[in-house]
Every structure is written in C-alpha cells, then in structure tokens.
Structure 1
C-alpha cells in the first residue's frame, strides 16, 4: 500500500500515472447510494451504521474506479458528541442547537473520546480496510474554523457574521471555542489513523471567506497545532489541507506541515505552484462533468499537464461532485485522467 500512486503523489514521489479521487464521491449522484441511504433512515443514522457506511465508502471503487476511497461520514459527526444537536432540515441544511454565544456555553461542551463515543466511525474504517486491499482509504475531519462557523451561526450562513464578530469582538469566546475544536479534531483524526486510514484530509471549507490577515491571526495557529500533533504521532501518514476560494491563503498554508494543498477550481495550478512547494490536489470545476466528453478531455489534459510541474499531483474536482451528475461522466473522467497521464509519462 505504501507504494500506491495516491500515497506516492502525496509524498512527492514519481508515479506512473496521475491518481484520481473525487470529493463527495460516495454521494447522491449514485443510485446505489440512494438505495442504501433509504435503508438507514436519516443521513446521520447512515453515518452511525458501520456496515452501511462501509458499503457506501466502497461504492465509488466499484462504480467509477477511483484510486482511493474516502470514509463515508460527515464533518458534524464529532460535533454532535460535543453536546450539540445536529439536524438536517430540508431547504435549510444543517441546524445546530444550542447555538454557542458565550464562553460559558463553550465550557458546557466536551471533547469526545473517539474510541468510546465515535466507535462506529472507527468500526466503519476497520470494515472498509478488510475489504479494500489494493487502494488507500482517506479519513477526514472539518477544521476548527469551518466547524466554529456552523456552531456560532447555528447552521449555514452567507456572511459568517456571528463567526467573524466573535473573532473580532469576543476573543475569549473565540479562543475557547477554537481551542476545544482543535482538541476534538486532533483526537478524532488520530483515532482514524490508528484505526487504519492511510491518509487524512482536513476540510477547512470556508476559510476562504477570511482575509489573509484574519486567517493568519485567528485561524492558522489552530490548524497548525492539529497538523503538528498529527505529524508527531503519525509521521508516515500524509495530510491534505483543502479549502474553497482560498487561493489568497496558499502562501500562508504552505507553512503548514501538510503534504498536499487542495485547490478549488478557481485557483490555477501555475498560480498555486508559485506559492507552494508541496504536492497539490485538484482542481476540475464540478460543473465540467455536465459538459461534452471532448470538453472534459480538454480540461483534464490541461490540469494533468500543469500538475506535472508540481512536487506531486492527485487529480480531483475543485469541490464536491454535484448530486445531478451522471455517473457515466464520473467514470469517463477517471478513465480520461488515467489515459492522458499515462500517455504523458
């Protein structure tokens, strides 16, 4: 497994082809996923069912031939064990309660022990690893800032007003919440690695809403702490760091001790390579999978060509695959990435 192209690319080693996986690859675009989901009840109940979650995790391997599986779960799985209720409401997305507003509210939260309170996640990993012998399994967590945004807002937001004003106006609240989330994420990812995942991705999905100054001051130190502890405990496990619309933060994040910087589709690879010496991941626009095959092939060729100049390159979409995507297009993408990258080498 150590010599699998995904892990070699993450480490910056040469590969025979460009490996590819797809964010949200075990999702609603798949008819088999929808069938399995119907057996579980709610989305969160599916995440808590190790057997069904393992089946969903492995679906993209069987259906579209990606080079890695990613654990089927959700960024809110550890959050609900902190003492916050998470409910997915149609038309609104995740709704979190109670909303954290004070330091006293933070003090009521707890750091879950993954082996005891998130054992179903670790059991899912064990089940997947027993069935997946030829490709790596990716574990993941949301990053403190992204999780804090939801916790302070009580759900999704367009302006991040509660999060930003807490960051600027109530530093005690901000530090208390970010500190506990840092501990939660660190222990959660460490437990996933101990259970058998081969690499991990930290989703700081919404960090791009911050200026470089605010990100570096209020967010970066907490992510850095997570990464440093993980590297101390698990030095051989590659770490991917990803955020949306965050090209202005690449230079700052290059200081993280991560192996791979994930790029969204707005970030040109040459631009990124001027700002990072790490391996990269990305970065096809998810909507490109609705284009004609010739357009997809043209875009893949450009990304693969530019990726050859990176220390290492893992092909991916620049964000999650859209639910309306035709699975045949996803299969075509994977085959095209493999074919073109092999031709180029």
Structure 2
C-alpha cells in the first residue's frame, strides 16, 4: 500500500497531512556532519551510493518523515553534460567552462556520472518501508541554466537573463539540452525506485512575466508531459520559488500534479487561485523553524488550517537551515502529527 504522501500527491485526502522537509537530509543533523567528516566533501558524498543512501535515510530514522528525498544536487545534470563541477568551501558550487554565450555543444557528455545516483535510489528503496515515499528531484531548466552560464550562483541571475534577452535562440538551445538530459535523468531515478519527483526552479522569481512564460512555464510543461508520457502515474511536484502572482499560471499551464509554495505567499490567498483539488506543498518559513518557540506552533497550525480543504503536503517554503535545532524539528513534527483539522 502506498504511503499517505504518495496518496496526497495523487489528489487523495487521507485525513492526515504528510510531512517532509526540503534539504531534510543534510547539515543540521549531527549524524550527517559525522559522516561528512569521515567521507570528505559534498560531491564525494553525493556520488558515493552507500553514503548518499545513508544520508537520505538519516532523517527518516530520526523523525519518521513521510517522504525520503534523494541526497544529491541539481548540478549533477551540468556535470553529466560535461561541465566540470566542484564546491568551494564556504562559497558554494562552481562550474567550468562558463557558458556565457550559451554554447554547450562543445561539452563532452558523461551520463555515466549519474550512475551512482541511481544506485543511491535503489539502496534507499530497498531499505524503506512501503509507508515512506521515495522522492527524486532535478533542477528545472531555467535554474540549472543560470549556474551553467555564470559558472556559479548569483544574486540576480544577471548573466543568464542577459543572454536570454541578447540571444534567445542560443539560450533556448541550452535549455532544450538541459530538458533532454533531465528527462532521461528523472526516468532513470524512477526506474531505480523513485515514486514521485520534484522540479526545483529556485530562481523562477527573477524573471519578467514574458520571460517567465518562455523560460519557466514552457520548459516545465514539456518536462512534466515527458515524464507523464514515459512513466504514467508518477506524480510531478513543481516548485517555482519566488513566482508570486505568476504561481497560478504555473499551476494551470505546466501540467504538474502538485505545486510547492514558498514562504512569501499567503496560503489562504494562494489556495483560492489554484486549480480545484490540486495538491499543494508548503509553506512554513525555514527561519521560523530555526527560531522555534510558540510562534512556530501557531504558524504551523495556520498553514495546516489554510490548506485543509485540499490535498496538502506540509513542508517548508524552501530548504531547512543548517543551524536549525533538532528540538525545533521535533516540535514541528509533533504539531503536524497532532493536527485534527
């Protein structure tokens, strides 16, 4: 029998609210920090199937979340497409060469770099009970492209936005290449045991409305359609962070099965504008989880009440902070589990 998370993503209301947290497998857990100290850097962990599976399962053992999210990174796709990838301590990911002109064609594809990720999924699925949904993910083409063009993250995604205006044909070709690699990657995850997938568009909010339609909605619609055609019945969660008023159009036009909502949006207003019956995911502020206290309990209940009339997966508005105290997560879990709305 599927767990309540998978049922909820399929549009069912079970009477209970499933719970998982973005970045739940990672730096806030002492067991993760211990394993990283033993094994080495982030990328080494992500490409070590045994270690990555252990990290994926750590929060399930500790908190009993309803979903286990694959421990990996959205930038394994550009790495598999042929860019060099490494992580600078305290500064984040780096990619080379920078594709400032969008010319990805000179890269030498290395899809074999993704094999350890599929191995991680297989290990996790074999160890998880049927009540826990195995979640896979990938970055959406726009967000992945911003890193490929600039060679790193940026505050305003200026290099990618400028290229999209200056040479939309070249930029479009880059996004199509990312789409193709991403579809193959997600199908590989599904075939290895993933039961639902999330598309992270972390920088969707940086685009003007016409650019959003072209570089966020259209590529995600093609991705969702390709996954649905290739592996029918596997839910696709779309998470276009920062979309604001454009979220309703994203939900209507992309064909995703559920939509993630960041913490900047009022859940009551959001739910009024989404398609009827569409599952939603979110949207507690990660900084409130970091702060804890009575305000955490009050806001958690507010979010639960706001989404009580539709299928709802409780989650954060983005990833959990590495400094979040364990007891605050325990407080959140207890509040969600006790909810009787």
TM range (shorter): over 0.9
Aligned to 1:260: 258
* 8 Å Cα contact 1:64/1:327 also seen in 2: no
Instruction: Specify the SS of the correspondent of 2:316.
Output: coil
Aligned to 1:127: 123
TM-score of the superposed pair, with normalisation by structure 1: 0.94
* 8 Å Cα contact 1:247/1:272 also seen in 2: no
How far the C-alpha of 1:231 sits from its partner, in A, is: 0.5
Aligned to 2:200: 203
CA distance in 1, matches of 2:266, 2:254: 21
Q: Structure 1, residues 285-322: CA drift from partner, whole Å, max 9, x if none?
A: 01112334321111111111111122x10000101000
CA distance in 2, matches of 1:33, 1:86: 22
How far the C-alpha of 1:212 sits from its partner, in A, is: 2.0
The 1:285/1:298 distance shift into structure 2, 3 A limit, reads same
How far the C-alpha of 1:111 sits from its partner, in A, is: 5.2
Q: Structure 1, residues 180-206: CA drift from partner, whole Å, max 9, x if none?
A: 001011111111011110100000110
CA distance in 2, matches of 1:209, 1:168: 14
Aligned to 2:141: 144
The 1:10/1:149 distance shift into structure 2, 3 A limit, reads same
Aligned to 2:17: 18
Instruction: Specify the SS of the correspondent of 1:109.
Output: coil
* 8 Å Cα contact 1:5/1:16 also seen in 2: no
CA distance in 2, matches of 1:308, 1:219: 29
How far the C-alpha of 1:117 sits from its partner, in A, is: 3.6
CA distance in 1, matches of 2:325, 2:157: 33
Instruction: Specify the SS of the correspondent of 1:137.
Output: strand
Aligned to 2:212: 215
The 1:49/1:153 distance shift into structure 2, 3 A limit, reads same
How far the C-alpha of 1:126 sits from its partner, in A, is: 0.6
Structure 2 gaps, min length 5: none
Aligned to 2:307: 307
CA distance in 2, matches of 1:38, 1:224: 40
Aligned to 2:54: 55
Q: How many residues align?
A: 337
CA distance in 1, matches of 2:336, 2:121: 27
CA distance in 2, matches of 1:111, 1:276: 39
Q: How does 1:182-261 map to 2 (within 5 A)?
A: 182-254=179-251, 255-261=253-259
Instruction: Specify the SS of the correspondent of 2:259.
Output: strand
Q: How does 1:12-91 map to 2 (within 5 A)?
A: 12-91=11-90
CA distance in 2, matches of 1:101, 1:294: 48
